[in-house]
Every structure is written in C-alpha cells, then in structure tokens.
Chain A
Amino acid sequence: MNRKTKILTVAALYGVMTAVLYVKNIVLAAEPVSLKDILVEEQIDDQNARATLRAFYTAPPVIPHEIVAKNAAECLDCHRDVTRLEDGRVAMATPHPQFSNCMQCHVPGQAQTFDEEQSDWQGLEEPERGDRWFALSPPTVPHRLKLRENCLSCHGPQNPDMTMRTTHPQRTNCLQCHVPNVLAEF
C-alpha cells in the first residue's frame, strides 16, 4: 500500500463507519438526530470507556491486560508503535517512549477485587471536547500535553477507538492548527 492508498482507505473506512453509526442511530432513535450528535455520543462513550482505566483525568491508566513483560524493553516490544496482536487486539503506542520504567506509573489493573464501597474518591472528570472559534475552525486541544507530546500515538489512524482518530493523518504538524490550552498546562 502506498501512502496515497493508505490515506484513501482510512478516509473510506471513516466514511463507512460514520454511515453505519448514522443508520444504526436513525433506526433506533425515536427522533431524528444529526450526524454530529451521533459522533459526539460515540466519542463520549469511548472516552468513558477509557476513563475507567484511570483514577482521574491525567492519572496514568492502569494496565488492562495480563502482564508478561519483565521490563520496559519488553513493554515497548508492543507499545513502541501501534501493534496488532494475533487475537485482534491492538496495543497502543506510548506517547512517551523516553521514560523507561513503565510500571513506575502504570500498575497492573486486571484484578478487579477492590470493593468500590470502600472509597469516596471522586476524581477529576475527563475534559470536554475542544473549543472552536467558529464551526469550521480547528478545535483546540482539550487535554494537557504533558506526557502526551506525541499526538499520533492516540490520534493516529491505527487507534481502535475510531472516534479518536484524526481525519487527516497526512498533516503531521498538529499543533500548527490545534492550539493547546497553555493555561491548563502546569
């Protein structure tokens, strides 16, 4: 696949996906909904699913899978770049491969034995979508960039959460148009 076909395939896939969602929701919804609403809803669902992996927005997510890796090099075998595993799962790329003690922050999260009743913790919620100046202007970056400096590790065309993917991966200088919120960046 050359670059051009890759982009075309991604665009086509994206089109198909939105169409499927659109039809699914039209069929199910009592009232007509706009494509935009559906996308936002899907996005929020995806975001909520991701949020279950952290104690609060900006907390390091826990590791949702069984761990065989003994050290960072082994974690990076799958997580340096996006990796599709044989069973269909996708290992996301780390946005910060310069840190080499992964399990310093990301702890195993598979055992779900904690009794939720035991805690009154209410963590900071995930941010809303980025602002736009007007309908067609590029949205601002709604989240912090700390430890997320590499945009494509989450927004790249390979992310299994389709709602997170950029529609234009050919443009690689993201912050040229999507401005970060410096006031949120401590």
Chain B
Amino acid sequence: MAETMMDRREFLKFSAKLAALGALSLNGGFSALAYAATDESTGLRWHKAPCRFCGTGCGVLVGVRDGRVVAVQGDRQAPVNKGLLCAKGYHAGAALYGADRLRYPMIRRNGRLQQATWDEAIDLIADRIIADSKRFAIYGSGQWTIPEGYTAMKFLKGGLGSNEIDPNARLCMASAVVGMITTFGVDEPSGCYDDLDTCDTVVCWGNNWAEMHPVLFSRFIDRKHLGHKIKMIDMATRRTRTTDAADHYIEFQPQTDMVIANAICHELIRRDTYDKEFVRDRVRFLADDKTPIGLEEYKAFLADYDLDSASKLSGVPVQQLSLLADLFSDPNERIVSLWCMGMNQHTRGTAINNLVYNVHLLSGKIGKRGSTPFSLTGQPAACGTCREVGTLAHALPGGRVVNDEAHRRDAERIWNLRPGVINPKPGNHTVAMFKAMMAGDITGMWVQVTNPAQTIPNLTENVLKNNSGFLVVSDVYPTATTQIADVVLPSALWVEKNGMYGNSERRTHQWFKLVDPPGEARDDVWQMFAVAHRMYEKGFEGMTNRDGDFLLTIKDEDGKAVEAWRWEVFKDFNVDKALFEEYRQFTLLKHKDLAPYDEYVRTRGLRWPVVRGSNGNWNETPRRFVEGDDPYVKRGMGIAFYMDKGKENRANVIARPYTPPPEVPDKEYPFWLCTGRVLEHWHTGTMTRRVKQLYNANPRAYVELNPEDARQMGVYTGEKIRIVSRRGNIVLPVSINGRSVPQKGAVFVPFFDETKLINLVTLDAYCPLSKEPDYKKCAVRLEKV
C-alpha cells in the first residue's frame, strides 16, 4: 500500500504545481495530465471522475472539502462532454447525502430487519452459501464497477463453480450484444462519439436521447449554432423533446421498426443505390437461420417490404419511407443511426439490431468519419463491466463463453483454479433466474447495485413478498428490494470508493476514492472478499486456488499477499488496481486490449483496443475496424471486420423477417403501454429522488395520454386513471401535452417512482436470442377511477 499511496501523493503534489502553472494558460488550472488540483480561491480540491449515472460517460470534476463532496462540475478536459453535464450529473454529489443512507448491516430476525455487525452478516451469508452453493445466484448491475463485476465473476464462476450470475444489463443491452455478435462476430459499437461531430444526419430509432443521453444530444444539436448543415430524423411512437429538435418526425406502429429497416434495404437494392463494392468485399448474406444465402435470395426475402406494403404495416407514409431511402442512397450523406432501449427492449431485439446493421452495411455507412450505426448504452458500465468483464450467465471475462472448452481453460489458468472447476453449462438469464427463485430452484441470491423488486417485468406479489429463498442486498438506500431482503449490506457509493467504468464508446474511466462512506458502509468488492474469505476459513474448497491459497488473493507490488478481506487493510490498499491488472490479461483474446491501470489514472479515459505503439505510448482506438485508427486492421484493408467468425473480414447481413409482437391491443385491452426513463431520474430513482432539485423537477410518476384519447375518455391532466393489463394494474395521474405526447392509442409511464410500480403491469415476454424482456409494448385498458 505504502508505495501506491506515495505515488499518488507525489502525483497530487505534481498536479498542484501544474495547477499553479495553469495560471498562464487560458484553459485554467487543470492541466491535461493532472487528475486533481486545488482551487486557491475556495480551498476546494477538485478530482476527476466519470459521472455516476448514464452510459454517456461524461467526465466530471468533484469538489471535495473537509471530507465531503460539495460541488460537481463538467470537466473541460473530458473529451466526451467538454465541460458540459446534464442535470443528473451536476447533482450527482447530492445523491450521496440522502438522510436515510444505509449505515450498518441488517439481518431479518422474526420478520424484521434489525441492526447487525458486519461479522454476523458475513458469517450468515457464508453459511448460507456453503449450505447450497450451486443454487446460489448473484444478480448484478451495469453500475457495478469493472473490479466489482470481475470479483463477482471470480467468486461465482471460479469459487462456486456455478454460472448463476446475470446483471440488470440483461434488461437493457442484451439484444445489442447478441445483435453485434451475430452481425460482426464480436460485441460493442465500432463507431465513437466523434462521429456525432462530423455526420450530416442522425437517425434516431426509437431513441429519446434529448432526455436519456442529453450531453450527446447537445453535442450534436449545438452544431447548428456553428452553422453546420445537420439534420435529425426522429423515428418514434411518441413525440418527445427529441422530436422538438428534429427535422422530421416519423411515427410508426410499435414493433414495425423491423418493417422500416427492411423497407430501406428493399429500396437500396431496388434503386440499385447500395454500395456495391463494399457489399462485394465486406458483406455476407445469411438467412434468418444463419445459413448462407446469395444476394438474389436476399432480394427475394425483401420482396415483402416494398414501400406500399411497408407503409401499410408500419403506418408510416410512403413519402417518409422514401425520405429515409433517399438519405441512405446518397453516397455522400454521412449518417449516424442511434438507438438504445427502444430497439433493445423488444421481443425481436436481436433481429432489429441486425436489421439496422443491414441498412448501414448495404449503404456502406459504417467505419467512415460521421457514418456509423451506434448502439447507445444506458448504464455507466454496462459496456465496461457487463459486456467486457462478461457478468452474464453464459460468459467468462474478455468475450469468452462457458461452453467453450478453451475459454474455460484460459480462465482457469489466469485464476489459477483446479482444472474443470468452471461449469460448462450456462446459468439462468435474469427473467428465468427470478422465476427459478420463486420456484425454489435457486435458494439464495445476492443482489448488488440494482433494485430488481422495482424493475423486473411482470412483478408479482410473489417477488414482492420474497416468499422463497435467502436474499442478500447490497445497496446505499432503502429500496423496494432491501425491503424484502434477509440481509441488507450498506455499500459505498461512487466516489466513496475507487472505481472504473466503461462507457458506450469503449472508453474505460478510472477514479479514486475521494470521501469516506457513511457509518459502516463498505465497498461491494470488500463485501465479496470478506464472504469469500469466511468461506475459505470454514474450509469451503471452492475458495481455494490450485495451490491451496485463498482464491481472491491480492498481491502488492512486491508480490506479497495482502489481507484484503480485512477492512482496515482493504480501505488503504488500491485493490482496484490489483484486480484490474489481473483482469487485463483476459482482454487480448477479442482484441479489446486494455492499458495498464496507471494510464487510466493519467487520462480522461481511453477507448479500447489500447495498444502500445513503437514509441512506448499507449494509443487508444477511436474507430474500431478502421485502418489507421485500429491497430488490428492490416494496412491496405481500409475497413476490416476482423472478428468475422468466417475469417473473411466480412459482416453478416441477416434476413430477419418482421414478426408481430406477442401481445397487441384488442377490444378488451385497447391501448399500447410503453415505459421508460426521464431526464431527471436515474432508473428507479433511489438516488435522484433524494436530491431536492431533481425530485422537485419530477416528483411522481404519471401516465401520458394522447390528447385525442384523453378527450374521448373525458379525462384531464392531473385526474387519476387506472391502467390495467392482463397481469396487474396501477392508478396514476394523467399528463396531457406535457413533456411528451404518445401517439394515438398509446400511453407512456416512467418507471422511476417506487410508489407506483408500473412493472406490476408490464409483460415478461422476451427476445428468444438475447432473453431481454420488452418493456416497451404490451396491451392495457384505461379505467376512470
């Protein structure tokens, strides 16, 4: 430890000097190198960190005084946001100081949660896991830091020899992952945010980025002030703030995004305006079942999607479909397609992801400055932790999968496990995991950094009462999930611990702990270390490695083992660095190379693959698969999809037919229900609803109605109505012509409000490939109350 601390102190001293020098520069005191500096005028110390909240991954400066966070500002050195934030980011500091922060562990005794010591809690958890280790699950999060997710993986897949781990990211980006893997052979977007600075047009596929990725939205839309001729096309089922700034609004019937994408491809081929050279060299056609087909067969598949038929199915006028086809036909038009939950939370989520790639592949609009399909992520580390570390039921770190023998051997080697410990059979995905818990097939579960009792689709009384199983919840505030827990562990939040996140553009961020967590709250990583070590002490074989040592052994820079499971040791040692250096070895296989930890300390994040150049510098990759940007593309290749499973550097255009949604409005349930987020609140609102400014801006959930539907029903803004589905119902106040306006025949409800659980109503049907449920469409009826 001593050594790391020294480095850090030296660095701080150095940066203070830089700050003084900064007086000479216009940019102010924060040098490009420094990650911390003191503000002479206020006595504040400012430190860099990524924002706590969304997948945009803005850089913030956290102002700390007397051991407390007192201010947050946008970091001008951060290439993502260049000094700007959104309301959530500015108020991230206040999210630490809700009066009801969890401050001590609690154990349920006689039906009530009662204060307990860490020792009691850890002992109880260790005993329960040992008692039924193969049926103990971990439910994690896209807000897990990279070291947190990595620890959970090693604990469960290495320690328990089980695969019962899945993250809440299953509910938000699983379709994006499977879409990417089926098209490109490897996960994560190849483009980057810089493309928003150079594109001519942005096409939003059901994506209200004005509220969900506000900083990216303004990064694009502010270009209008610079006189750039840019356009935005908003395809949606609801008019939003994005629509207000759009040049064209294309309203479609839910689920028919699939039809629109196929119609664009149909037109590109009919007009003969597709990029022939690119298609010849870089594309392969596959049928829905993945058997190779030729261009002719693909054409035949598209025959159903002529503009007239597509218009009929989707409700989009032919003229608007033509407009899209015109744009994608123009070889000089630089287009970025954006999407997030609208396409991912979809019963054909994987297929619609494939279809949008088809559009970009046929038109050659990929891998060029300003042209790329771009799947945005919701959570700050959905990419860094869930997708890269691979905290999924079927995965192992670095893009590996459990049912591949060689991949298992890799993990067993790096983790120094006894051969054969890793189980080849994938575990339950999220929806199945909760069903298994209800059925008693999973007997215990540890939930970290997420709130499933508010977010699992089709919540039932069963889930809410937790009638089965032993539930451990690590969190920072009381939530719907802590209410039903058997053990509640108080966690450190954001800058109360060291951390690393990875954002939507492959950028890995690092931050240091800046303030102490309140009361006895402790890091999630430490919690797992402590339980693992207790199991080891109790003689649980899984927690030993091949040499008989503790599985989660951490070594200092001299190679000496550190007793990281002891809090007094853990809190002064940079366990993150040790874990990250170990994890880094996993990242080479899929060419997602990460740099050493210290490179992330120095910078405002780096986009992988980060490869060392001949001059010794660690170079990031702005655009993947692009010669000149990506060191893995051979000279002369231009664009190469080098992770192609067919080893031809090609991407797959997959013929995915339109399939209707599993539940459509009918006589009894005549309205579509869509759910989603709002700008001011983060997911289930546990953090943001404890911040005055954010709470006041949007205190309670509501149901948005189309004005015509409201008139027909005879209801007004503020009046309460009941929303009823085949699964459940809730009562909400009506909002008409408020922030957003759904299309006729549809209603929208935000899910942030724990007092109004909309997931009692939603459907739990999911994409058969990604297992991601569809929160965006189900049929409901509205009743006056």
Which residues in A have some Cβ–Cβ distance to B below 8 Å?
54-60, 62, 70-72, 97-101, 103-114, 116-124, 127, 142, 146, 181-186
Contact = CB atoms under 8 A, between A and B. Distances in A.
Contacts of B41: 127, 142, 181, 183-184
Interface of B: 19-20, 22-23, 28-30, 37, 39-42, 44, 46, 61, 63, 65, 68, 70-73, 75-76, 83-87, 90-91, 93-94, 97-100, 210, 214-215, 217-218, 221-222, 224-225, 241, 244-245, 679-680, 690-699
Contact of A56 (B37, B70, B83, B244): B70
Contacts of B241: 70-71, 101, 103
B71 A113 contact: no
A183 B679 contact: no
> Helix, strand, loop or mixed for chain B's interface?
mixed
Contacts of A117: 99
Contacts of B87: 60, 104-107
Nearest to B209: A101
A111 B214 contact: no
16 contacts: A62-B697, A71-B244, A72-B245, A103-B241, A104-B84, A107-B697, A113-B696, A114-B695, A119-B98, A123-B70, A146-B76, A146-B83, A182-B22, A184-B40, A186-B61, A186-B73
A62 B215 contact: no
A183 B98 contact: no
A135 B94 CA distance: 39
B575 to A, nearest CB: 28
Given A58-B71, A111-B696, A100 B224 contact: yes
Given A104-B215, A107-B87, A182 B28 contact: yes
B30 A186 contact: yes
Given A109-B696, A119-B97, A119-B692, 19 more contacts: A54-B693, A56-B71, A56-B93, A59-B71, A60-B87, A60-B90, A72-B245, A101-B245, A103-B241, A104-B218, A107-B679, A118-B98, A121-B692, A123-B93, A123-B94, A142-B41, A184-B28, A186-B29, A186-B61
B244 A120 contact: no
Contact of A183 (B29, B61, B83): B29
B696 A108 contact: yes
Nearest to A96: B84
A152 to B, nearest CB: 19
Contacts of B697: 62, 107-109, 111
Q: Which 7 A-B pairs have the closest CB atoms?
A: A107-B697, A185-B28, A71-B244, A104-B214, A124-B71, A101-B218, A183-B40
Contacts of B61: 186
B692 A116 contact: yes
A55 B42 contact: no
B222 A104 contact: no
Contact of A101 (B68, B76, B94, B221): B221
A118 B244 contact: no
A116 B695 CA distance: 11
A54 B694 CA distance: 11
A56 B91 CA distance: 9
A55 B688 CA distance: 13
A38 to B, nearest CB: 26
A113 B694 CA distance: 11
A121 B70 CA distance: 8
Contacts of A107: 87, 679-680, 693-694, 696-698
Contacts of B244: 70-71
Contact of B73 (A58, A101, A113, A122): A58
Nearest to B34: A186
Contact of B70 (A72, A122, A186): A122
A183 B692 contact: no
Given A182-B29, A183-B40, A119 B99 contact: yes
Contacts of B694: 107
Nearest to A118: B99
Nearest to A143: B41
A124 B245 contact: no
A41 to B, nearest CB: 22
Contacts of B699: 111, 113-114
A57 to B, nearest CB: 7
Considering residues B72, B83, B215, which has the most beta carbons from chain A within 10 angstroms of its beta carbon?
B72
Contacts of A55: 90-91, 94, 691-693
Contacts of A181: 40-41
